[in-house]
Amino acid sequence: MENKIVLLGAGGHCKSVLDAILRANEYQEIVITDPDISPGAMIMGCKVVGTDCEVGDYCHISVGAILCGRCRIGRGSLLGAGSTIIQDRCIGNKCGYRSKQYCTVRCGG
């Protein structure tokens, strides 16, 4: 089985995590998403792929969560393992209203 990983955002923390991932040598494919960097750019030898989703600060997206196209995830939101945000949906405070509330999405009982 081929191990793959996607890193969200290409800032300083990404580079620290990427350094550890590269040293571990456990992944055959590593890509990075960042809306502010052109797709095709390379960071530490890994390709930046485009993204059309917006993810706010301090969000946590668990392993197995799925973000479909053009969704917006507001600041401080938590997407639990197995959760799916369908295309064009907005979660938390990115939905056009002023809210300081955080959002938690979970899957299952």
Q: Are residues 56 and 109 in the same domain?
A: yes
Q: Are residues 46 and 1 in the same domain?
A: yes
Average pLDDT, the chain: 83
Burial of 31-68, coded b for 16+ CB within 10 Å and e otherwise, reads ebbbeebeeeeebeebebeebebebbeebebeeebebe
Tally of domains in the chain: 2
Place 98 in a pLDDT band, splitting at 50, 70 and 90: low
Going by the DSSP 8-state scheme, the letter that residue 24 receives in this structure is H
**Can you give the pTM of this predicted structure?**
0.57
Both 44 and 76 in a single domain? no
- Same domain? For 46 and 68 the reply is no
Same domain, 87 and 99: yes
Which one-letter amino acid corresponds to residue 13?
Answer: H
Domain that holds residue 94: 52-109
Query: What is the C-alpha to C-alpha distance for residues 55 and 43, in angstroms, rounded to an integer?
Result: 20
pLDDT at 64 over 90: no
Provide the pLDDT for residue 100.
Answer: 57
Question: Do 4 and 43 have their domain in common?
Answer: yes
